[in-house]
Structure formats: C-alpha cells, structure tokens
Structure 1
Amino acid sequence: MTVTTDPHRPQPVDLSRNPHLTGVYAPQRDEVDVADLEVTGEIPDDLAGSYLRNGPNPRFDPIGSFVYPLDGDGMLHRITLAGGRASYSNRFVRTPMVELEEQRGEVIWSGLTDGYTPPASVVGDTLANTTRALPDINIVEHAGRLMAMQESDKPYRIDPISLATLGTEDCDGAMLVGSTAHPKTDPRTGELVLFTYSLEAPYLTWSVVGAVGTALRTPTPVTGLDAPLMIHDMALTKKYVVLFANPLVFDFAAVMRGGSLLSWEPERGTRIALIPRDGSAVRWIDTEPFWVWHFANAFDNPDGTVTVDYVEHVYPGGFAHSATPNTSALTRATCNPVSGAITRTRIGERSGLEFPRVDDRLLTEQHDRIATVGKAESDSGDLDSLWFHDLRAGTDVAWTPGVAIGEPIYIPGAEHDYWGAIGTDPVDLRSRFYLLDADNPADGPLATVELPIRVPAGLHGSWLGAP
C-alpha cells in the first residue's frame, strides 16, 4: 500500500541543521534484547530491578518540523540488574501512527507545530485529520499498569515483560481527558495524582487514581485560568496538588499566521495553584513571571505553608525570545495559602541545571538531597555532569564523566541506595549506564554497564524494583 500524494504534505526536515536529530540525540531505529552486558566494576548483590527510560525518537525521518522535546515517537529503554549482571531491551511505543508508518515504510505525520494533519485519502477515515500521538516523555508504573506518558493526553499501556504496546489507558476514567507526563504517586497512600491541561475552558483538571487502580476522583475542573497554558509538571504534598501556571500560552491565531504554537506572555505573571486534595476551593498565589519544566518535591510545613523545590528558568528556552540570558537554578519557594505570600530562594550557587530528582519514597515528605543534571561549565557545552545537592549541609558536589549525561534516578537497594543514569560519549557515541553510591556519588561509578546500542539523549524514567 502506498501513500496517496498529498499536495499539502510538508517537506522533509534537514536533520543536519537540527541539533536534536544529530549526535547524541540522533534517532535510534534498532530494537534489541541483549543479556550479560559487559560491566566495569561490580553491580552490588543487593540490587535487583529495572530502570526504564522514555524519550523522543522519530521512527522515520520527520517532515515539516521537529521541535524538541515536543515531537518524536516514544522509545522505551530497559536496563535490568540482578545477581550482579545486566541486560538491555528497547522498543518503540507503537501508537496507531507508528504502526501505519511502519506498514507504509515512511513518515506520514508531521511535527506538532506545523498544523498539518493527513487526510482520509492518505490514512483512512479513522486516523484522518489527527495529529501524531506523543507518548515519549515518561514511563510510570502504578497499580500493575506500566504506562508511557505523554503531554496532556492518555498514556499508552505497556506490557511489562515484552515492552509491547497494548493501547491507550484511562485508569478507570481518571485519565479520561488525558494526563500530565508527570503524575505523582503518594508513597503514604499509594494514590496516583495527576492533572491535565486542555485547549478549551476550563483549561485545567485534576484527578486521582487509588492504590488498587480505581478512580477516586475523575477529571475535576480547576477554576481560575482564562487562557490555555502549557503546564508540564506538578508537585504533591499531603494536603495539596501544586501547579505552577507559568505564562506560556497556546496561540492558535499565531499558528494561522505561520507563527509559533506557544507564546511567552510575561505580562501575565506566574500563578501558583494550591489545590486541596480534600476537594475544597483552590488557593491561587500570584508572583512575577518565570518558567518551570520540572519539580523535585514539595511538602507541608507545621505553620501551614508549603515548600516547593524546583528548577526555575528565566523563560522557556526556544519558546521565547529575549535579550536576557536564560539561566536556570535550583530554587525553593515557600507559599502561604492563607495570605497569598510567596518567597523564592535559590538553592546553592550552581546555574544551568535541570532534571531534579529525589528519592521517590520521600515524595510529599521533607527531603535532604536532590540530584540534578548540569554542566561543568555553565555557559557552554552539553549537560555533562550530575550535581548532588545536600540541603541540610548547604553544599553540592558533582560527578563529571566526560559524556552527555541524562536524568538521574534514585535506586533503593536491599542494603544500600544508589543513583543511576544513562550517558553517551559525544565522540564515539557509545552509551553506558552508570551506577553511583548514593552516599558518595561524586566518587564515581561503582559499576559501568556497556549498552549494546546507542541510547539517544532523552527524558524521564522510573526504577521498578524486582517483584
């Protein structure tokens, strides 16, 4: 079956001119299963489980545009550690778009920002005028469901053994209108709490999935927004769902004029929503404009205030243009839901940071340690260092492996804890998994696992302990 000619079909993207389609970001098209990987050092005997990571990885060379991190098909990478040995598997998340493109042997859907959708003459009535599904941001396990998460849409359920794609998942109706790519699990209750932004009023909803997988709260409107905003991540405390409504607005009028889908409107300021988990009225706090991609954690204080730790950017990178340098820093905000007051304090002296993570068992609780990705030199180069911030001591230390390093993941062992991350050498493009001692991460890896294929620089993942 061949693709019907469509005069509106966008032209191919010039991969050589897109830094997120070359080098350590270049798409990986191979799928492999390899056991007994080469290990330098020693994988501790108390460690058993799998690290799964997701990320944008176009199945075929894209057409129209490719805007990282919004575009790209999902590819799941799994590194399993057990008995001192390591194995690796990877699979595409096979959405209906990927499946049809594989049948045809070529790309059909364009980038998200192009405004192009294939007609029925090309893809049939069922998929006509659809945009590409993008479950390429995160991979989350809850109540026996393994899910590839996407931005403001339903996730795709994944078979935990084969990594095969099983179809979309709505979690008993809690994700009926979609989910964030970053839902949060409350370790105390086992509840999975999420939000979803949409392009039409009420623009924002939140939901809860119970510990056994049933919906405790179906999509519930969050009142207070007057425009559709992109909100990528959330934080969670015992009392509140915490959302930062930064002023990145979906602008469809601009798209019709050939402009950007997203518009940075700093005059709106940033609005912080503290949504009581008991269902009572949302508390809004207004402050100056800034941007947040990712949160580390949040917790309630005895005086009723809420502490939120996150990486704060001046503005959202390529979605805004400014003469002001776009610095980022690990930041602590303290929000008062009664008075509406907020204080924001920079944590440490480092800038150019992203991907903050804590021990997920401490979500909603006070934490002492945060890991981030950064740069050895903050003004240039790839993200090449892992930074470990001791909040109690007020210090931070780095491990710089000389490779492009990905998001850290906290790994609990039976006797000890660890940090892990995937890195790719920008010269020889070989990928490795690094395992670090959680107490002394700057000392370098306890074990380095040689991965059988290059893993493209990607986004987020989860550690799944052995059952």
Structure 2
Amino acid sequence: MTAFPQTIHFIGSNFPRRAEISVRDLEVEGEIPAEIDGAFFRAVPDNAHAPMFEDDIALNADGMVARFNIEGGAVDFDIKWVETERYQAEKTARRALFGRYRNPFTDDPSVAGVDRTVSNTTPVWHAGRLFMTKEDGRGYEINPHTLETAGKWDYYGAMKSETFTAHPRIDAQTGEMFFFGYEAGGLCSDDIAYGIADKDGNLISEQWFKQPYLATIHDFVITEKYAIWPIFPTTANLERLKAGGAHWAHEQDLESWLAIMPRYGKVEEMKWIKGPVGVSVFHEVNAYDDGDLVHIDLCLTDTNAFSFMREAGGIHRDQREIQGALTRWTIDMSKDEPVIEERPLGPPGDLPRLADVDQGRPYNRAWYLSMNPQGGPPMPGGPVGINFNALMRIEPGNGRLTVLGVPPGAAISEPVHVPSSEAGHGGWLLTVVDVPNGPPGAGPPHDYASELWVVLADEIEKGPIAKVKTGLALRSQVHGSWVSRARLDQSKLKG
C-alpha cells in the first residue's frame, strides 16, 4: 500500500505520527510532588511505513519507546523508534516488507529469516536494564538515558527461548524476575519456557513444558509459592498461516486451563486445572496465597475482546455486547483434583495496575481502566479500536470502588504507580489522557491534545493534582513502567 488504511487501527489515537520527538520543559499546570523523580517509560506502537495489507492491525505497528522525564518538578518528553532488525530492514528499503500480524509467510521474500518482532508492548526494567518487549520475540535493550537501542537481549546467550513475555513479574522483596516465552521453540511450537532471573539480572533457571493446545499466553502471575499460567482458547494454526491467514483465532467451544507449579520447583510438579469454556483474559491483576488457597484476579470476558481474533474464529459480535467482569478465581491446592471457584470482584475493564510491593502477595487495592457510559462516544483508537474513558480504583477485599473521570470524548491510558516514602501515603498514579480540542465529533478523531495527569493513588476521585501539557497528539500507548531516579542512576548503560 502507498497510503494508510482508514480503519479503526489507523484513525483516532491510532493515527500514524511517524516522528521521533524531543521536547524540554513541558507546561505544568499545578505542582508535581518532589518525590516524583524519575522516568515514565511508555510503549507506543506506530507505523514507520504504510502497511502491506489494508486489514493490518495496530498491534503490528513498529515499536516506539517514549519517556516523560520528571526532575525537580520539570518535565521533558522524548520518543524514539526501537531499532529492531525489522525496523532497520524497512528503513533501508523505505517501505513495508513484513506482512500480516505474526505471519512470516506473507512477508517480502527479501526479509526471510529477519527477526520479525516490533518490540512494541511493554517497557520492562530489571537489574539496571530497560527492555522493550513483545511476546513474539526476545526483548531489545534500550539506553534509558538516550532511548537508543542497544540490541537484542538473551542473557549473554544463556536464554534458549526464542520469545520473551511482555508481562514478566518482578518480586519487589527478592528482586527476582519471573518470566516465560510461549512458542518458545519457534513459530507455532507448543513449547513454553519458564525463566527466573536473579536480582542482579543473571538467568538462573530456564525450564520448558508443553501447552494443552497452541494458545496465546499474554500474561501470567506468581505468588510466594507458585507460578501460574492461565491459558485461554485463542489458538494458532500453522496451516492457516501458510495459507496467508490469521495467526490467532478464538475457539468459543474450547475450554480454558490453569497451569500451576511451585515457583522454584520443577515443571514435572505442574498441575493442570480445567477452566470455563470460551472465556478470554489478556491481563491478570495479581495472585496470592491464602493458606492452601490460591487467589487469581483476572480481567475476564466471555469471548476474546479483539475483533480480529474473534472474527478469525467465526465469531461476529459487536464490541459493546461483550460481557465481562474483574473476576477472582480461587483454587484449593490441598485437594487431589483442584477446581476453579469463581466470583466477580468489580465492573468489566482491563489494563490493571498494581503497586510493585504487592506483586504476588495479599493486596488491598489496584487500579484498572473501564468505560463510563456517561462519558460520551469513546475516542477511536487503541489496540481494540475503542479507547477507555475511566480509571477505577478497587479494593478487592470489600468491593469499594472509586472512579476518575475524564472530559467528554477523551481517552485514558494505563497508569503507572509511583510510591511515596511517607508512612501512610498511598503514592501517585501517572496516566496520559487524550483530550479533544473541541466538542466530541466536531473535528477529525485525531484532533486532540495529550496530557500527563498526576493523581493521588488512593484518592483518584479528586482528579489530577497536576497536568503536564504536551501540546501533542500522542499515539495510543500499550503499557508503561515507572523507574525512579535512584534506579536510573544505577543503570548499566550510561547517558
């Protein structure tokens, strides 16, 4: 193609920006607390070139790493391409060379064997290093001071998995990172590799096991005792790929599974627990042990939330008809044949955020995005084509729910949590809000201004205590990470 398609994946906040930007001293409305000192890194898919196919999707866009650098109440903004092998090949050719999402059989023959990952999903910080990740390949290390790409990361050749999840789990108390890769043995392999990196960033364990069917596994959870993989029936098929079809298709009549093993144990100790039929989850909030019970909190829907994955499986449902809830699955590990007990915790939504210190442990609050039907027509954009317009804080123990609203027609991105050293202070959330430049619908859907909001984490209903005005219409974020100044100063790569 020579022009961008006018589909949900290229309009609104998915409108291609295609620009590296550096802006110092953004306008700040209000005052940013002194303890908020560090960098908010964001993964922002964007298209360096018009796609090869009109039905391309936002998840197939090149990775960009963005940074709000906050120091002494001042804020600078930078965004740069992740210089993957794929990006470099297309930069040289000045056109798209890679075809459909995760289907190498649709690529230009000139890039056969070139790493296809776009590293566009999650910035991950561990042991002094920043990685940009996407689950179809290994991560790329990024210099956190310059945003330059250092190269692919494989633990100096120690990691054998060909893929690395966009959702590792880091235990804040031990400093260890627990991660996995699915399709670890290559395209459409049913292998899962489970890895552990110690607090110094050394790979200390990598074990492989098989899935019951070849599913997308976007996220997983840990507790103090266990590592847990929820597996849902959105499946890949090599013959479909060879025919030029979709990598993923949701199978509504297929059961889900939980795979659970001791987090420091052997894969031979794994238990497989059958779950409900046809459901889908992309993100889990957290999991924790309660004696013999294990609680897993998930953003559950009754089918796959991505239209292109549903439709590939022959499921044609309007996005507004999808049912779901923030849901708790509980299993009793003392039983010979554990089963899943399910109860709803809160309204439907996704893109949850947990305080780092609560990872894998009992917790009393979390945050996630949802839809406010009183917020007016949602802004088009984001991975599913429709943006969220409300941020929720939930206390899972008692169900207490508070909401941060945004202006009519605005969109809100996944927040990050910034802790406070003050006893009893819940810290802050940072989140990007895209605000229309006029009444909703008055102008083109990409006519908006992006703002960084600073919100009290335990009083979100009070609204922002500070707003950072970028003067830019930023493309939709997927995930983000907060890195304190102290950690940045300890980074392995220097500015």
- Normalised to the residue count of structure 2, the TM-score between the two structures is 0.85
Query: Offset of 1:186 from its aligned partner?
Result: 1.0
SS in 2 for 1:266: coil
CA contact (8 A) 1:12 1:64 kept: no
Q: Are residues 1:282 and 2:282 paired?
A: no
Give the drift of 1:410: 0.9
Aligned-partner Cα distance in 1 for 2:44–2:57: 10
Asked if 1:250 corresponds to 2:260, the answer is: no
Answer yes or no: is 1:443 the counterpart of 2:433. no
Higher relative contact order (CA 8 A, sep 6+): 2
Give the letter aligned to residue 341 of structure 1. V
Equivalent in 85, 103, 114 of residue 74 of structure 2:
85
Name which of 210, 222, 229 aligns with 2:198: 210
- TM-superposed CA distance for 1:177, in Å, is 2.4
Q: Residues 14 and 77 (structure 1 numbering): CA distance in 2 closer, same or farther, change over 3 Å?
A: closer
SS in 1 for 2:239: helix
In structure 1, distance between residues paired with 2:86 and 2:245: 25
Q: CA RMSD in A?
A: 2.1
- In 1: Cα distance, 2:106 partner to 2:243 partner: 14
**Partner Cα distance (2:231, 2:176) in 1:** 23
| 1:185 counterpart = 2:170 | yes
Q: CA deviation at 1:117?
A: 1.9
**Residues 258 and 33 of structure 1, relative CA distance in 2, 3 Å threshold:** closer
Structure 1 unmatched runs, 5+: 1-10, 121-126
Select which of 300, 324, 330 maps to 1:328.
Answer: 324
Residue of structure 1 in register with 2:484 after alignment: 465
How far residue 222 of structure 1 moved from its aligned partner, in angstroms, is: 2.2
Q: Deviations over 1:246-276 (max 9, x none)?
A: 1111022233445432222233300101121
* CA–CA separation in structure 2 for the residues paired with 1:441 and 1:425: 18
Task: Find the partner of 1:453 among 447, 469, 472.
Answer: 472
CA drift of 1:24 comes to 1.2
- Contact 1:203–1:227 (8 Å) recurs in 2: no
2:300 aligned with 1:312? yes
Runs of 4+ in structure 1 deviating by more than 6 angstroms, as ranges, are none
> Where in structure 2 are there 5+ consecutive unaligned residues?
379-386, 438-446, 487-495
CA distance in 2 between counterparts of 1:380 and 1:239 reads: 44
Alignment correspondent of 2:209 = 222
Q: In structure 2, which of residues 353, 362, 366 is the aligned counterpart of residue 366 of structure 1?
A: 362
Match of 1:99, SS state, is: helix
Match of 1:15 in 2: 5
Distance 1:48 1:217, change over 3 A: same
Is the 8 Å Cα contact of residues 285 and 354 (structure 2) preserved in structure 1?
yes
Q: Does 1:265 align with 2:251?
A: yes
The 8 Å contact of residues 203 and 229 in structure 1, kept in 2 or not, is answered as no
State the alpha-carbon separation in 1 of the partners of residues 436 and 51 from structure 2. Answer: 23
Query: In the alignment, what sits opposite 1:169?
Result: 153
- 1:419 matched residue in structure 2: 429
Query: Contact conserved, 1:373 with 1:384, CA < 8 A, in 2?
Result: yes
Provide TM-score, normalisation by structure 1.
0.90
Task: Give, in whole Å, the separation in 1 of the partners of 2:358 and 2:92.
Answer: 45
Q: 419, 430, 452: which one pairs with 1:433? A: 452
Matched with 1:149 is: 133
Q: Structure 1 residue 129: deviation in Å?
A: 4.6
Match of 1:33 among 13, 22, 31: 22
Identity of aligned residues (%): 25
Which residue of structure 2 aligns with residue 133 of structure 1? Answer: 117
| Structure 2 counterpart of 1:42 | 31
**SS of residue in 1 equivalent to 2:298:** strand
Change in Cα spacing, 1:48 to 1:208, as seen in structure 2 (3 Å) is same
Instruction: Give the drift of 1:435.
Output: 0.5
Equivalent in the alignment of 1:123: none
Distance in 2, Cα, partners of 1:37 & 1:340: 54
Q: CA 1:292–1:21 in 2, change beyond 3 Å: closer, same or farther? A: same
